[in-house]
Amino acid sequence: MTFRRTEHHRSRRVLATLLFLVAPAAAAEPDGFSASELERIASHGPWPTEWLRDAGNRVSANPAAIHLGQRLFFEPRLSANGRVACATCHDPARGFQDGRTTARGLVDGTRNTPGLLNVRHQRWFGWDGGHDNLWSASLRPILDRGEMSGSAARTATLLRGSATLACQYRKAFGKAPAATDPELLVNVAKAIAAWQETLVSPPTPFDRFRDALERKDLAAAALYPAAAQRGLKIFLGRGQCSTCHAGPLFTNGEFGDIGVPFFIKPTGVDPGRQGGVKRLLASPYNLLGTHNDDATRRNATGTQYLRPEHRNFGEFKVPTLRNLTLTAPYMHNGTLATLRDVVRHYSELDEDRLHADGERILKPLNLSEAESADLVAFLESLSPDAAPPAPAKPPAVAACR
Amino acid sequence: MNPGSQPIKSRRWRYGDFLRRALFLTALGAITGAANAACPPATTDGTTITRGEITLAWRPLQVDAFLKSGRIPMARHFALEVQLCDKNGVSTAQLVKADASMPAHKHGMNYRPTIKPLGNGRFRVDGMMFHMAGQWQLAFEVQAGKEITRLTHDVQAD
C-alpha cells in the first residue's frame, strides 16, 4: 500500500520535464527530477516549519521567561568558577556550537557540542538522546561537574542578587526566586529553554529551490547551482541519505550506527543511545516525571513507549543537516573536520564497524571525486548563504523595576 | 437556611447533572461505537487483511497535531484502530501483538506499542512510529483459543 498522492505525482512529473527543458544553460543542465524525487524534495519544507509551544514547559513562548532565559544563557556566574556559561560552548557566531572537536567546560568532554539552531523541533536531546525535553537538557550542563558544576543555592544567590533577574524571574514564574524552592533550578532551565526555542535559522538556497519548485517558478528554481542539484539527486537516490535525514529538519530525530568509532581515549567506550536510554529513564526530569507541565502527558509518548534494544549500543542521534557550514567539526566525537570528510566517510564506509543487528542498507557509496563535490555542494546549500543569523530579539515585556 | 447557600447548592447540582450527562453520553458513545463495529469491515475501517478465518482491518488514528490526514507521517507517533472479524461476524479473538519492522533494513521500530481492547472486536494500538522512510511491514498476531494467526501488511512510509 502506498500513501503517495497520484495527482501530485502527475503534476510534478510535468514539472520535472519542464525543469529539464526550460532550465537555462547557466544552471548547467540539471538532470531533471522524477515525480517521486520532487515529492521528496517538497517533504524537506517548507521552512521555517510549523512549531507548537512546548506543553511541558509552562513558560514556553512566555516573553518574560524568554528575556530571563537569554540573560541566563550568557551568565557565567551560574558555574562553579564563574567563568563558564551555556554560551561558552554554544557560541551564537558558530550556530551555537564551539568549533572544537569535543566540548570543554570546566574540564574536557568526550563529545562534540551540538548546535542549538532549530533545537525546538527536536524529540530527543543530546547525542545519546538522554533527555526528552529541552529544559532538562538545559539543566544537566548547569549541574554537571565537568561542565558548569552549578547548584540551586548558587543560582538562587545569583537571581536574588540582581534586581533585574529577580524581577524577570518573578514576572515569568509569579514568585520570588527562593533557594528553598525545589523548582528553582527547573524553572531556570525552563526559562533558558524558552529562549532557545526562539533560535530559528533562516531559509537557505535549498529552501528557495524547493519553494520555487512548489510554485512552479522554473526561472527561480534554475538559480539553484547545478552541482547542488546533482548532489541532491545523490542524496535522495543512490546515497539513500534522506532515509534518515528526512523532513524539513533533515533528520528523523532518531538514532543510528554509521560506523563512527565509539572508543574514548585512552580506554573508555561511549555507549551512545544505550546509555542515553538508561539515563533518560532514571532521570527525575523526564516527561514521565512531576516536572512536566503537560498534565495530559501526551508529550511523553516517546518516553512511554521507548523500546531499549541491544543495537542501541554505539548508536548516536541522526543530526540535522541544516547550518552545517556553521557547525564543523562533525559526528558525535567531532573527528571529521570537513563536509568532504563526512562524504568520504560514507563513500568508503567500513561495514565491519557496523552492528551485526543494525541497519543493513548502509553500504559504501563509492563516489567519484566529482560526485563527492556535488554532494558537498548540496550539503552546503542547507546553510544560510549570508552571515550567521543573529539571535532574534526577545519579545517586548514591561520593564522590570 | 442560609440564604446564600441555595445558589451554591444549585451550582453543585448543576455540576453533578453535567457529570451524569457526560457519563451517559460517554457510555452511549462506547455502545454505539461498538455497535458500529462492521463485519465484514467497511471501507472506513481502513485496510483489510485476511488469513484463514480471520479478517483484520486497520486504520491510522490522529494522535498528533501534525497528522492532518489518514496518511502515516514518517518519524511521528501514530496509533492504529483494528477491527477483527471472522465468518460469524465480529470475532471474539484477541489482538495479542502489533508491531512493525523494515525487512530490508533488518530492524524494527524504536518503540514498543501497547494494545487496548475497545470491545466488539475493536482494538487500539498506541506507540507506533515509522522512524525511517521506506518499506515497513505491519505484523499483527491474533489469538483465538490456543491458535495464533499472524497477519502482515506492507506499508510504504515516506
B66 and B112 assigned to the same domain: yes
The pLDDT of A208-212, averaged and rounded, is 97
B122 and B85 assigned to the same domain: yes
Residue A143: predicted pLDDT:
96
**pLDDT of B26 above 50:** no
Instruction: Evaluate whether ipTM surpasses 0.95.
Output: no
Identify the bridge partners of residue A200 per DSSP, sorted by sequence position. none
Residues of A in contact with B105 (CB under 8 A): 359-361
B82 and B145 assigned to the same domain: yes
Instruction: Kindly provide the residue ranges of all beta strands, DSSP E only, lying in chain B, ordered along the sequence.
Output: 47-51, 54-61, 77-86, 89-90, 94-102, 107-108, 114-119, 122-129, 134-144, 147-157
Mean pLDDT of chain B: 80
Range with lowest mean pLDDT among A260-264, A271-275, B32-36? B32-36
The CA-based diameter of chain A, rounded to the nearest angstrom, is: 70
B17 and B62 assigned to the same domain: no
| CB-CB contact of A245 with A251 (8 Å) | yes
Q: Which domains does chain A have, with CATH numbers?
A: 1-42+204-262+317-385 (1.10.760.10), 63-196 (1.10.760.10)
Q: What does residue A31 show for φ and ψ, rounded to 5 degrees?
A: -65, -15
How many beta carbons lie within 10 A of that of residue B9, not counting itself? 11
**pLDDT of A318 above 50:** yes
Our CA-based measurement puts residue B5 at a distance from the nearest CA of chain A, in whole angstroms, of 33
The owner of cell 546549500 is A381
B52 and B77 assigned to the same domain: yes
**pLDDT of A386 above 70:** yes
Query: Which of A37, A36, A17, A43 is closest to A230 using CA atoms?
Result: A37
Pairwise CA distance, residues B97 & A177, whole Å: 50
| CB-CB contact of A110 with A270 (8 Å) | yes
Pairwise CA distance, residues A32 & B114, whole Å: 44
Our CA-based measurement puts residue A311 at a distance from the nearest CA of chain B, in whole angstroms, of 9
B109 and B144 assigned to the same domain: yes
| CB-CB contact of B78 with A332 (8 Å) | no
Residue A354: predicted pLDDT:
77
Greater confidence, A20 or A63? A63
The pLDDT of A294-323, averaged and rounded, is 95
From residue A137, alpha-carbon distances to A48, A279, B150 in Å are 23, 12, 41
B31 and B54 assigned to the same domain: no
Range with lowest mean pLDDT among A39-48, A288-297, B15-24? B15-24
| Radius of gyration of chain A from its Cα atoms, rounded to whole angstroms | 22
The CATH number of the domain where B97 resides is what? Answer: 2.60.40.3340
Q: Give B100-150 pLDDT, tens digit per residue.
A: 999 988 899 999 999 999 999 999 999 999 999 889 999 999 999 999 999
B27 and B43 assigned to the same domain: no
Which domain covers residue B19, as residue numbers?
Answer: 1-35
Q: Give A217-259 pLDDT, tens digit per residue.
A: 999 999 999 999 999 999 999 999 999 999 999 999 999 999 8
**pLDDT of A113 above 80:** yes
Q: Please give the share of chain A, as a percent, with pLDDT higher than 90.
A: 78
Q: Do B75 and A43 touch (CB under 8 A)?
A: no
Percent of residues in chain A assigned helix, strand, coil, to nearest 5: 45, 5, 50
For residue B140, the 8-state DSSP code is E
Q: Do A1 and B153 touch (CB under 8 A)?
A: yes
Q: Do B133 and A2 touch (CB under 8 A)?
A: no
Our CA-based measurement puts residue B3 at a distance from the nearest CA of chain A, in whole angstroms, of 37
Domain total for chain B?
2
B43 and B30 assigned to the same domain: no
Q: Give A72-94 pLDDT, tens digit per residue.
A: 999 999 999 999 999 999 999 89
Residue A111: predicted pLDDT:
95
Pairwise CA distance, residues A25 & A303, whole Å: 52
The pLDDT of A48-75, averaged and rounded, is 96
Pairwise CA distance, residues A62 & B146, whole Å: 57
Find which of A20-24, A30-34, A106-110, A320-324 is predicted with most confidence, using mean pLDDT: A320-324
Residue A352: predicted pLDDT:
79
Residue A357: predicted pLDDT:
66
Task: Give Cα A107 distance to the centre of its chain.
Answer: 24
| CB-CB contact of B107 with A255 (8 Å) | no
Q: Give A129-183 pLDDT, tens digit per residue.
A: 999 999 999 999 999 999 999 999 999 999 999 999 999 999 999 999 987 888 9
The CA-to-CA distance between both ends of chain A, in Å, stands at: 62
C-alpha cell at A182: 525545589
Residue B37: predicted pLDDT:
62
Residue A361: predicted pLDDT:
77
B17 and B70 assigned to the same domain: no
Please report which helix (H) or strand (E) contains residue B126, including its range: strand B122-129
Residues of A in contact with B106 (CB under 8 A): 357-360
Residue A362: predicted pLDDT:
86
| CB-CB contact of B49 with B40 (8 Å) | no
